[in-house]
Amino acid sequence: MSLQGKTAIVTGSNSGIGLGVARELGKAGANLVLNSFTDRDEDHKLAEELAAEFGVTVRYIKADMSKGDECRALIEKAGACDILVNNAGIQHVAPVDQFPVEKWDAIIAINLTSAFHTTAAALPVMRKAGWGRVINVASAHGLTASPFKSAYVAAKHGIVGFTKTVALETAREPITCNAICPGYVLTPLVEAQIPDQMKANNMGRDEVIEKVMLDRQPSKQFATVEQMGGTAVFLCSAAADQITGTTISVDGGWTAL
């Protein structure tokens, strides 16, 4: 399908899932706004490289997703927003009674509250354009839980609930809101964890992937950033016009257990 003429804003998109989603949207013809909290030469160079590769307009806009005013300013600075992908997120692991308060606050702010601010700012723009797609990158942890991830699980469950509410509020309009729920995705960050896991568990690469990292993922295969992006592109298609307020799990069967 072609998304030519559409503008997609993807938060947290200078690496990992966000970058994978941005690439697939750009490949489909959408103009892109990349985002993260940094403002490095390589961030702007990445935008230039994607623009050259896909023949679309690509901008990089710095915005700290832990700050509501910057979330809203991102939409304003972009100037257009047909597709909003709320992807920015961080993680911290600790028991509830030992969970640092500042980590809880940061995870809720970046993983959940930022989506409220960006969506609130984007909906009037979408309504003026007469079309829109809000895609929230949740997680298998938006549908189930794991110990020691209280803030992340709470935020991702919140994103799923927020998705449903936005979908109901826009149900009579040509705007949809859905959540993608990835399982374990092979990103550079995850790839970098494999050697440490091999050492800690005294296992080879394949064994540590299957028995440790993908313990809860029945397919025993990582999902890919390209699959996340392909799912986002589908949700932007006419075939998905009546898909709203739901979750699409890309988790190798994790939430089927």
CATH code of the domain in which 69 resides: 3.40.50.720
123 and 241 belong to one structural domain: yes
pLDDT of residue 78: 98
Q: Which two tokens stand for residue 204?
A: 């080879």
Q: Determine, yes or no, domain membership for 1.
A: no
Residues in the chain predicted with pLDDT less than 70, given as ranges, are none
What's the domain range around 209?
186-221
Report the side by side order of strands in the sheet with 58-62.
58-62, 31-36, 7-10, 83-86, 132-137, 175-182, 247-250
pLDDT of residue 28: 98
158 and 119 belong to one structural domain: yes
114 and 210 belong to one structural domain: no
What value does the mean pLDDT of the chain take?
97
Q: Which residues pair with 250 in a beta bridge?
A: 182
167 and 206 belong to one structural domain: no
Residue 184 among the catalytic residues: no
Closest CA to 146 of 48, 254, 13, 241: 254
199 and 178 belong to one structural domain: no
Q: Determine, yes or no, domain membership for 2.
A: no
Q: Determine, yes or no, domain membership for 257.
A: no
156 and 47 belong to one structural domain: yes
137 and 216 belong to one structural domain: no
59 and 169 belong to one structural domain: yes
Choosing from 54, 104, 152, 254, the catalytic residue is: 152
Helix (H, G, I), strand (E, B) or coil at 88: coil
Cβ atoms within 10 Å of 189's Cβ, excluding its own: 12
179 and 237 belong to one structural domain: yes
193 and 233 belong to one structural domain: no
Q: Determine, yes or no, domain membership for 49.
A: yes
Sign, Cα dihedral of 121, 177, 107, 104:
positive
Q: Determine, yes or no, domain membership for 28.
A: yes
Q: Determine, yes or no, domain membership for 57.
A: yes
pLDDT of residue 207: 97
Domain count along the chain: 2
pLDDT of residue 2: 92
pTM: 0.97
Phi and psi at residue 10, to the nearest 5° = -120, 115
pLDDT of residue 189: 86
192 and 118 belong to one structural domain: no
* Residue 122, H or E segment: helix 114-129
Q: Determine, yes or no, domain membership for 46.
A: yes
- Report how far apart, in Å, the C-alpha atoms of 147 and of each of 110, 164, 208, 210, 222 are: 20, 25, 20, 20, 21
111 and 201 belong to one structural domain: no
In angstroms, the CA 11 to CA 163 distance is 16
Sign, Cα dihedral of 237, 239, 244, 246:
negative
Cβ atoms within 10 Å of 96's Cβ, excluding its own: 10
In angstroms, the CA 174 to CA 152 distance is 31
